[in-house]
């Protein structure tokens, strides 16, 4: 009996030590230089510390918190199935009084065209002779079915929706460069496959950019966790590690997406003051211009050009690159219509609208270099969400350091005490057994005579 008891105690101690051992799991460490980024992770962290407060003020403003989106457009590729199982999937529409009349007119544009030589401009336009005025994405601001949404009232969080097939379709379409609106196109295949930059040998940077946005989404839904009843939970560290933290490539891609988006915003230096954001509220308009100016100024003073834009053109000349990626981005906006979780669709469209704005700022010419109000909203919200993710990544690292300290302390103090206690119990039990006088078991005859 005492052997069983000592074995049970040993098992309990071993289980305890293994339990605290599991807490040693930690994120991949990303530091120094990253491929295609012309600054270091440490510098990006400094920039993030400087600009994050500006981004929070901007996304809380009337202009940048109201986004127009169509959440009812049918999926053009397959019969979209499945619904969320919690109330966290639904989106609350703005009340009529929340939306300024200026936003409803859908006629605001922001000219972000770079100064180019006339020969370069002619070459780009002649290379894309059959493109529509805007082929980067499906514009929803003029859509009669589109609604206005207050982003702050519809927080980005875990909804229990499994969007792996959506991301697989985005990666497959983007890397194979085969956009197709045919419902039987076979786009929805092999959802569980792990993608990597090797899947996009012609343009790995484009893959990494999409992967960075994917990592950003995962950081948000693991940080803002909820249970099935809709009650908030602490940040889900285990889920974060599984989806992002254990994958160094994904973390590096997050920083790449951050640096490219920041590069696009830095490119607006000297222009943001010329834009009119809220014409009927001069004071709010001026405050927004000042905040945008401070955002760009604080970024540039650390690093003016955080992204190596020339890396995008290693596989193709600039003009051919633009020709290839425009239909890819347009196709992604159609794939997002296949998301059956309203909130997931909202934030997917918001962030890819922002990414489209980034590409238009960096490479758009003529009419296509004019951003709509929705694209400006998407740009700032994408940058703000990337800033959140970068901050949370470093917070997770600090959390892991704290846990490691506790584990080491536990090993130094608790484990020896438990070991001594176990040995004492085993000794006590064994001594008790030895002290007990031997008594032979009663035989059948003994029982009969009793």
Contact predicate 1/381, CB 8 Å: no
**Measured distance CA(355)–CA(210) in Å, rounded:** 9
CA-based diameter of the chain, in Å?
120
Q: 387 CB contacts (<8 Å, ≥6 apart)?
A: 48, 51, 52, 55, 258
Q: Which residues contact 179 (CB under 8 A, 6 or more apart)?
A: 173, 327, 328, 330, 331, 334
Catalytic residue among 75, 200, 338, 344: 344
Residue identified by tokens 């059956």 is 340
Q: Is 211 annotated as a binding residue?
A: yes
For residue 185, CA distances in Å to 78, 166, 169, 288 come to 9, 15, 11, 45
Q: Is 84 marked active-site?
A: no
Whether residue 68 is annotated as binding a ligand: the answer is no
| Phi, psi (deg, nearest 5) at residue 320 | -70, -35
Residues in contact with 360: Cβ distance below 8 Å, sequence separation at least 6, in sequence order: 112, 136, 368, 369, 371, 375
Annotated ligand binding at 243? The verdict is yes
How far is Cα 168 from Cα 192, in angstroms, rounded to an integer? 8
Which 3 state secondary structure label does DSSP give 349? helix
The verdict on whether residue 73 carries a ligand-binding annotation is no
**Residue 165 C-alpha from the chain's centroid:** 16
Helix H or strand E encompassing 109: strand 109-111
Length of the chain as a residue count = 450
- Rounded to whole angstroms, the Cα distance separating 247 from 30 reads 10
344 noted as active-site residue: yes
Tokens of 203: 């343009």
Beta bridge partners of 68: 148
Question: Token digits for 221?
Answer: 């839904």
Residue 159 annotated as binding? yes
Task: Exactly one of 38, 89, 175, 341 is catalytic; name it.
Answer: 341
Q: Return the active site residues.
A: 341, 344
Please enumerate, by residue number, every residue annotated as part of a binding site for FAD: 159, 167, 211, 214, 243
């Amino acid at each position: 009996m005492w052997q069983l008891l000592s074995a049970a105690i040993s098992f309990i101690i071993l289980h305890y030590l293994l339990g605290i051992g599991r807490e040693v799991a930690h994120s991949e460490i990303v530091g120094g230089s990253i491929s295609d980024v012309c600054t270091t992770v440490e510098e990006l962290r400094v920039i993030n510390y400087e600009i994050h407060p500006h981004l929070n003020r901007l996304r809380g403003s009337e202009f940048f918190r109201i986004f127009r989106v169509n959440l009812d457009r049918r999926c053009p590729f397959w019969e979209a199935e499945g619904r969320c199982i919690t109330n966290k999937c639904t989106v609350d529409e703005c009340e009529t009084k929340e939306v300024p009349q200026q936003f409803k007119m859908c006629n605001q544009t922001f000219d972000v065209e770079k100064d180019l030589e006339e020969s370069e401009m002619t070459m780009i336009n002649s290379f894309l002779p059959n493109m529509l005025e805007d082929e980067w994405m499906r514009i929803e601001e003029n859509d009669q079915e589109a609604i206005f949404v207050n982003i702050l009232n519809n927080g980005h969080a875990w909804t229990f929706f499994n969007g792996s097939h959506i991301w697989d379709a985005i990666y497959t379409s983007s890397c194979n460069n085969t956009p197709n609106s045919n419902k039987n196109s076979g786009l929805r295949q092999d959802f569980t496959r792990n993608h990597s930059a090797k899947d996009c040998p012609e343009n790995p940077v484009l893959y990494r950019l999409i992967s960075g946005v994917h990592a950003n989404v995962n950081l948000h839904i693991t940080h803002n966790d909820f249970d099935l009843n809709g009650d908030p939970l602490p940040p889900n560290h285990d889920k974060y590690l599984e989806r992002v933290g254990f994958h160094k490539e994904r973390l590096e891609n997050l920083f790449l997406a951050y640096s490219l988006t920041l590069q696009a915003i830095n490119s607006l230096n000297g222009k943001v003051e010329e834009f009119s954001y809220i014409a009927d509220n001069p004071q709010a308009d001026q405050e927004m211009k000042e905040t945008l100016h401070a955002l760009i100024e604080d970024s540039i003073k650390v690093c003016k050009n955080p992204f190596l834009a020339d890396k995008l053109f290693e596989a193709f000349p600039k003009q051919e690159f633009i020709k290839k990626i425009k239909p890819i981005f347009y196709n992604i906006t159609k794939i997002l219509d296949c998301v059956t979780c309203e909130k997931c669709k909202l934030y997917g469209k918001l962030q890819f609208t922002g990414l489209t704005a980034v590409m238009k700022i960096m490479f758009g010419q003529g009419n296509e270099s004019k951003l709509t109000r929705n694209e400006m909203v998407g740009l700032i919200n994408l940058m703000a969400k990337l800033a959140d993710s970068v901050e949370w990544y470093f917070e997770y690292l600090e959390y892991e350091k704290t846990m490691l300290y506790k584990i080491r302390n536990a090993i130094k103090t608790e484990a020896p005490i438990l070991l001594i206690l176990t040995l004492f119990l085993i000794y006590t039990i064994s001594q008790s057994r030895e002290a007990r006088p031997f008594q032979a078991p009663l035989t059948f005859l003994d029982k009969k005579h009793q």
